[in-house]
Structure 1
Amino acid sequence: MKLVDFPASIVHLENGLTLIHQEIAATPVVVADVWVKAGALAEPAEWAGMAHFLEHMIFKGTDHLPPGVFDYTIETQGGMTNAATSHDYAHFFITIAAEMLPTTLPYLAELLLHAAIPADEFVRERQVVLEEIRQAQDDPDWLGYQAMAEQVYQGHPYGRPVLGTADILQRRSPEEMRCFHQAHYQPHNMAVVITGGLPLESTVDMVRHAFRAFPSPPPCPAATTAPLPQLQGVHRDRLTLPRLEQARLSMAWIGPGIEDLTTAFGLDLISALLAQGRSSRLVRELREERQLVQDVAASFSLQRDCSLFTIQAWLEADQVDRVEATICDRLSELAAKPIPETELARAKRLLCNDYAFSTEAPGQIAGLYGYYSTIAAADRCLTYVPTVQHYTEANLRQIVGQYLTPLRYVSTILCPA
C-alpha cells in the first residue's frame, strides 16, 4: 500500500529529546504538547498511582517558578493548558497564540524538568487525588471497567487503576515522587510536539534552549512487569450496585498491541461493523428491531503492550443473559459468513472520515503525533487509513475468529441493587 509522506519534521536533539514539528501557516495558534513515557506502566506496584499524582504535582512549581505563575501566565495571554495520564503515557500541553510560545514554553519546560514537589504541597494535593479516587468509586461505569480490567489483565499493570488506591497513596512520600520524576522525565523518554503557526528553524532553537538542563537520573525501583494475559474460557463477574437504575453488560477481549498494528486496525474496523451507527449489526438488531437494549456500543482501545476490544450494552437486568448469548452468536456468524461489500464499505468510510475529522486542528494533530510517538513511532499514524481501506472481508473474518471468539472473553455485569 502507498503511504503519503509524513507532513511533520522529526528532529532528534543532541541530548536525546525528540521534537515533532508541523507548521500550519494558516493558523495564528500553536500547540506545544509534551509526551512522556511515564504512565502507570512505569510504576512499581507498591507505587501505584504515582504517575497520575505526579501529573498534579508538576504544576506546583519549582525552586525558580512559584506555584500558580505558569497558569497565570498562560491564562492572561488567552491560552489554555492541561494534562492527562494513562497507563502508557503522561502528557502536558499548551494552546496559545504563536507569538507567545517563546515566552511560555520555557515555563512548561521548567515545570517538567525541575518540579520541586514540596512536602507541604504534596500533602495538600494528595487529598485532591484521594477525593478523585472516592469519586471514581462512586461511579458505576468506573467500577465496572475496573472489575473488567482486573479479570482481563490478570496481574499485568494494565489491570491496575491509573489513579492508584487510597491505601498506597497514603504511604507515599515526596522523596519517592522526586525519585520517580527524575528517573523517568528524561530526554530519551520524552517527545515535544509543536503544531501551528511557527516555522521549524526557530522552533528547534526554542525547544533546544528550553529543554537543555535535565537533572541526572537517580536509581529508582523498577516498574512491575508481568506476562501478557492469555484468556482461557469465559469469565463472568456480576456486581450489584446501589443507585444504579439500569443494568450494564460489558464483554471484553484482548487484542494485539503495537507489534501488530495491522490487526489492531482491523479490530477497530470490526467495532464499526458491529456497533457504529443505526445500521450497524448489533445496534440494528438489539436496539432498533428487537428492542432488547437501550443502547449498545463497541470500541477498540489501542495500547502499547496489548489492546482491548469491548462491547457494552445498557439494558434491563432480566435481558442480560439473552443479549450476551445473542452477541456471542453474532460474532460466530461474523467469522463464518461473508461480509457484504456495501456493509464493509460503510464501516471503512466511517472510520476514515473519523480519522480525517480528528486531524483538523493543531491540538488534534499534536495529540495524534504524540500518542503514536509514545506507543510506537509518530509516522505510524499514517498507516491507519490505508490499512483500513485495504482490508478484505476474508481478512476481517479471520481476525474475528482469532481474537473475538465466544470461547474466551470476560463478561462484567452491573445490576441494580
Structure 2
Amino acid sequence: MPQIQNSHLLRVPTQADCPVRIFRRDDGLTVVHQYVATSPVAVTDVWVKAGAASEPDEWSGMAHFLEHMIFKGTERLAPGCFDLAIESCGGVTNAATSHDYAHFFITTAATHFRETLPNLAELLLRAAIPEEEFRRERDVVLEEILQSYDNPDDLLFEATMEELYRRHPYRRPVLGTEDSLMGRSPEEMRNFHSSHYQPDKMTVVVVGGVSEAEALDRVDESFRNFPTPANCPNFPIEAEPPLLEVRRRELRLPRLEMARLNLAWVGPGIDRICDAYGLDLLSVILAAGRSSRLVRELRERRQWVQGITSYFSLQRDSSLFTISAWLEPTYLEVVERTIVDRLHQLHVEPIPEAELDRAKRQLRNDYAFSTETPAQLAGLYGYYQTLTQAQIAVMYPERIQAFDAETLRQLASQYLTVDRYVATVAIGDEWC
C-alpha cells in the first residue's frame, strides 16, 4: 500500500462510526474519501462553489457555460482528448451546474483511477477556453435556452423563482439568457474561472475501490498549480426580504392542453438543516405517492387533477418547497383553495402516528436506495460538503426518525404559510 506523502493534508474530525473521511489541505482544498472494499469501481466527483449564484447579473449563465467549456481542453489536452481517454477505458464522465455549485465526475474501473484523475484535474485547473471553441459552444448553450422556452414546466419554474426571489441570485435562470450569453467574452470567462476554481472553493470526492492512501496521494499530486486569481466582478448577495403576501403570475402558452398550478414557499437555508429535514417529511405527507394526502383527495377521490406532487429542494441560502398540479383550467381555483386549506390543517392538527411513521419509512428507504453505488455516495458527499459538511449526509435517516408530530406542526405553521406564498399558473391560449 502506498504511503501518504502529504502530511500537510489534515483529517477533519468526524464521528467514530462515520464511513466517510474528510481531509483539508493547507490551501483549503478538501478531499472526501470512502473506501468500498466490494466495489471494482472508482468515482471521482469534483465540486466547486461556483454556481449561478456566484455570477453578477450581467454575467448570468456564465457558470453553466463554463461547465461546457471545461471540456474543451487545455494547452496540453486538445478538445475531445479527455472524453476519448475516459471512454477508451470504459468509463463515463459528466457535469452539472446549479445555483450553488458546479460539479464534474468520472466513473471508471478502480484500476484506471491513477491515469484518469490527472486529466480531470488538468481540465479543471487549466481550462484554455479557446475563442473558436467558445463561439461554437455558445451556440450549443443558446440552443439549450431556446429549448427551455418550449418546455412549459421550465417556464413555470423560472416564473416561480422570479416571483419568489426579488433580490437574491436564485431568481435568475441557471442557463442565463440569450442577451447575457451573447454579451460575454472568452476573457471574461477566463476571469470567472480563475477567480472561482480555487482550492478553497473545491472539494474532491473519491469513493469506491481505491485506498485512502492512494486517493490522497493522487489528489495531492494532481490538484496543484491552481490558476492565478484574476479580477472578477464582486457583488454583495442581498438577503431576500420576507414574503408578506400571496404573489401571483399567469403564463399564457400556445398548445398547452393541461394547465399547470405551482405553489411555492421559501424554506430554511443550510444553517437550519434540521428544519429543512422536517419540510422533507411534510412534502412526503402532502403529495409523494398514492398514500399521500393531496394525491388521495385531489387525484384519486375528487379527480380534480391529473397529477399532483410536492417537492423540497435544499439550497445554501434558502430552500424551496413546491406543490405542483396538472389539471383542467376550470379546477384551478378550487384546487388551490383546497391545498391551502389542507396546509392550514397541518398547522392545527398533529399528524397521526401511523401516517408519520409511513412517511419516515419512505424517506429512509429512499435514502437507502439512493446510496447504494459509489456514484450515488460521491454525489451525496460532494453536495453536502459544498453546502455544509459531508458527514452530515450519513445522519439523515437518524434525524428523520427523530421528528415528532408537534415539531412538524410547528414547522408547517412557520414555513408553509397560508397567506404568504407564490402561485404561478400556466394555461393554454385557447382559454383566454
Q: If the TM-score is normalised by the length of the shorter chain, which range does it land in?
A: over 0.9
Matched residue of 2:379: which SS? helix
Structure 2 letter corresponding to 1:158: Y
Aligned residues: 415
Correspondence 1:79 to 2:87: no
1:41–1:224 contact (8 Å) kept in structure 2: no
* Distance apart, 1:81 and its partner CA: 0.1
1:301–1:308 contact (8 Å) kept in structure 2: yes
Structure 1 letter corresponding to 2:101: Y
2:125–2:197 contact (8 Å) kept in structure 1: yes
Identify the residue that residue 396 of structure 2 maps to in structure 1.
384
Identify the residue that residue 125 of structure 2 maps to in structure 1.
113
> For 2:106, which of 76, 84, 94 is the aligned residue?
94
Identify the residue that residue 326 of structure 2 maps to in structure 1.
314
Matched residue of 1:198: which SS? coil
Correspondence 1:351 to 2:363: yes
Alignment of 1:365-376 (within 5 A): 365-376=377-388
1:193-218 per-residue CA deviation (whole Å, 9 max, x = no partner) reads 00000100011110001101112212
1:377-411 per-residue CA deviation (whole Å, 9 max, x = no partner) reads 11111232122111110100111111101110000
| TM-score (norm: length of structure 1) | 0.98
Matched residue of 2:176: which SS? coil
Structure 1 letter corresponding to 2:328: E
* Distance apart, 1:156 and its partner CA: 1.0
Correspondence 1:202 to 2:226: no
Identify the residue that residue 11 of structure 2 maps to in structure 1.
none
* Distance apart, 1:4 and its partner CA: 7.3
> For 1:133, which of 145, 162, 166 is the aligned residue?
145
1:156–1:229 contact (8 Å) kept in structure 2: no
2:259–2:426 contact (8 Å) kept in structure 1: yes
> For 1:170, which of 182, 189, 194 is the aligned residue?
182
1:43–1:224 contact (8 Å) kept in structure 2: no
Identify the residue that residue 263 of structure 1 maps to in structure 2.
275
Gaps of 5+ in 1: none
* Distance apart, 1:334 and its partner CA: 1.3
Gaps of 5+ in 2: 1-14
> For 2:205, which of 186, 193, 198 is the aligned residue?
193
Identify the residue that residue 274 of structure 1 maps to in structure 2.
286
> For 2:158, which of 140, 143, 146 is the aligned residue?
146
Identify the residue that residue 247 of structure 1 maps to in structure 2.
259
1:124-166 per-residue CA deviation (whole Å, 9 max, x = no partner) reads 1101111110001111011000001000011210010000111
For 1:241 and 1:10, locate their aligned partners in 2 and report how far apart those are by CA, in whole Å. Answer: 49
> For 2:135, which of 114, 118, 123 is the aligned residue?
123
For 2:55 and 2:247, locate their aligned partners in 1 and report how far apart those are by CA, in whole Å. Answer: 27
Matched residue of 1:220: which SS? coil
Instruction: Report sequence identity in percent.
Output: 59
Correspondence 1:216 to 2:228: yes
Identify the residue that residue 183 of structure 1 maps to in structure 2.
195
1:42–1:224 contact (8 Å) kept in structure 2: no
1:108-134 per-residue CA deviation (whole Å, 9 max, x = no partner) reads 000000000001111111011111100
Structure 2 letter corresponding to 1:347: A
Alignment of 1:396-415 (within 5 A): 396-415=408-427
1:257-292 per-residue CA deviation (whole Å, 9 max, x = no partner) reads 011001000000000001112111000000111111
Q: Which stretch has the larger CA shift, 235-244 or 262-271?
A: 235-244
Q: Which stretch has the larger CA shift, 9-18 or 141-150?
A: 9-18
Identify the residue that residue 234 of structure 1 maps to in structure 2.
246
For 2:309 and 2:276, locate their aligned partners in 1 and report how far apart those are by CA, in whole Å. Answer: 18
Identify the residue that residue 361 of structure 1 maps to in structure 2.
373
* Distance apart, 1:65 and its partner CA: 0.8
For 1:192 and 1:219, locate their aligned partners in 2 and report how far apart those are by CA, in whole Å. Answer: 25
1:58–1:115 contact (8 Å) kept in structure 2: yes
1:74–1:81 contact (8 Å) kept in structure 2: yes
1:287–1:295 contact (8 Å) kept in structure 2: yes
| TM-score (norm: length of structure 2) | 0.95
1:32–1:94 contact (8 Å) kept in structure 2: yes
Correspondence 1:27 to 2:39: yes
2:167–2:240 contact (8 Å) kept in structure 1: no
Matched residue of 2:357: which SS? helix
1:330-373 per-residue CA deviation (whole Å, 9 max, x = no partner) reads 00011111211000000000001101111100000000000000
1:77-117 per-residue CA deviation (whole Å, 9 max, x = no partner) reads 11000000000000000000001111111000000000000
Structure 2 letter corresponding to 1:145: F
* Distance apart, 1:224 and its partner CA: 5.0
Matched residue of 1:60: which SS? coil
1:95–1:363 contact (8 Å) kept in structure 2: yes
Structure 1 letter corresponding to 2:32: I
For 1:72 and 1:262, locate their aligned partners in 2 and report how far apart those are by CA, in whole Å. Answer: 44
Matched residue of 1:294: which SS? strand
Matched residue of 2:305: which SS? coil
Correspondence 1:64 to 2:73: no
Identify the residue that residue 338 of structure 1 maps to in structure 2.
350
